[in-house]
Amino acid sequence: MTTYKHLYKTCRLCPRLCEVDRILGEKGFCGQGPEMRAAFAGIHRGEEPPISVQSGSGTIFFTGCTLHCSYCQNRQISQNNIGRTISKGDFSKICLILEKKGAANINLVTGTQFIPSIREGIDEARANGLTIPIVWNTSSFESIEGLQVILPVVDIFLADIKTLSREHSQEFCNSGIYPEIAVNALDIMVSKRTIRFGDKNNLLSGTIVRHLVLPGELDSTERVIHWLGTNSRFRNKILLSILVQFVDTNGIPSEGGVKVSGKEYEKILSMLDIYGIEDGYIQEISDTDYTDWVPDFTHVNPFPSSFADPVWHYREGFIH
């Protein structure tokens, strides 16, 4: 079985191209070493309909991140380093347990910093009988080097387009180059995977593009919707998912307040109509402030019980 650990030696797994030797203990932007680390794995029912389906998505939440967005709802794991090392064998076991429990897919959440380990883990899981699709749940802040390694084993891309503004991405996402990187990564994803559904309306292959609306930042949202709706490269080749579950996790300034307003929501619906986007999903606006949707990974089940069933937790290990 092919090994990929040498890619930690001069790390170029994300577009920051830190080139540190993680095997020798050097740390780059993500702050992670050469061993895969995760915080939680379980059946999750809060994803887009063709990802969750009725049975739920088999999610694995990894520790660390290559962006550190100021509004991140997974801050505990993306920036506060909650999690523990898991072996390739344990990763394979988690995947197989999730499939046995009925998961529609294996949903790998923010795993770019561990691409070599994840690739080896998926290869082992497949060799041990894993059959369900692999979802790469990504910020789209991906390097060509990293994508080349993970692309052959990914069936579905659940890919953010956070913004197309350099200024916006520098302010909120810790990188002014995010837009150009995300655009290039999305081009590769869409060119390699066509949309294909199973008999239960479950997505078997393809790309869902996610965009989280920030209150008071509708110009940024319109720029994304316009780009996707008028770009022939993506017509009939993606599903767009508009999220409105913004939560102020870090005192982010906003002219529009701390949540997307009803007036803003109506404007978003109008944008989708104007730019001819019909295929996809948009969250319903809620009277709540969405704080219940923010996971607490210090709990064995970080989500409301109706949202998730744990199978592994960084403190407890496997949960039977």
Average pLDDT (293-305) is: 93
Cβ contacts of residue 102 below 8 Å, gap of 6+? Answer: 43, 55, 56
Q: What is the pLDDT of residue 252?
A: 46
Three-state DSSP at 136 gives strand
Q: Is the pLDDT of residue 121 over 80?
A: yes
Q: What is the pLDDT of residue 286?
A: 80
Q: What is the pLDDT of residues 309-320, one digit of tens each?
A: 999 999 999 997
Q: What is the pLDDT of residues 132-183, one digit of tens each?
A: 999 999 999 999 999 999 999 999 999 999 999 999 999 999 999 999 999 9
Q: What is the pLDDT of residue 251?
A: 52
Nearest to 141 by CA among 180, 192, 92: 180
Average pLDDT (273-279) is: 95
Q: Is the pLDDT of residue 307 over 70?
A: yes
Average pLDDT (255-280) is: 88
Average pLDDT (30-53) is: 97
Farthest-apart Cα atoms in the chain, separation: 55
* Contact by Cβ (8 Å): 254, 219: no
Q: What is the pLDDT of residue 250?
A: 64
Give me the domains of the chain, ranges plus CATH numbers: 36-318 (3.20.20.70)
* Contact by Cβ (8 Å): 139, 175: no
Which DSSP helix (H) or strand (E) runs through 98?
Answer: helix 88-100
Q: State the Cα–Cα distance between residues 57 and 111, nearest whole angstrom.
A: 16
Q: What is the pLDDT of residues 63-74, one digit of tens each?
A: 999 999 988 999
Q: Is the pLDDT of residue 235 over 90?
A: no
Question: What secondary structure letter does DSSP report for 214?
Answer: P
Strands (E), 199-267: 203-212, 239-243
Q: What is the pLDDT of residues 196-224, one digit of tens each?
A: 999 999 999 999 999 999 999 999 999 99
Q: What is the pLDDT of residue 291?
A: 76
Average pLDDT over the chain, rounded to whole?
Answer: 94
Q: Is the pLDDT of residue 298 over 90?
A: yes
**Strands 57-62, 280-282: parallel, antiparallel or unpaired by DSSP?**
unpaired
Work out the burial of residue 316: count CB atoms within 10 Å of its CB; fewer than 13 is exposed, 13-18 middle, 19 or more buried. exposed
Q: What is the pLDDT of residues 87-110, one digit of tens each?
A: 999 999 999 999 999 999 999 999
Amino acid of residue 100: K
Q: Is the pLDDT of residue 257 over 50?
A: no
Q: State the Cα–Cα distance between residues 3 and 5, nearest whole angstrom.
A: 6
Average pLDDT (281-309) is: 89
The share of the chain scoring above pLDDT 70, in percent, equals 97
Which DSSP helix (H) or strand (E) runs through 62?
Answer: strand 57-62
Query: What sign has the CA pseudo-torsion 150, 156, 162, 163?
Result: positive
Residues in the chain: 320
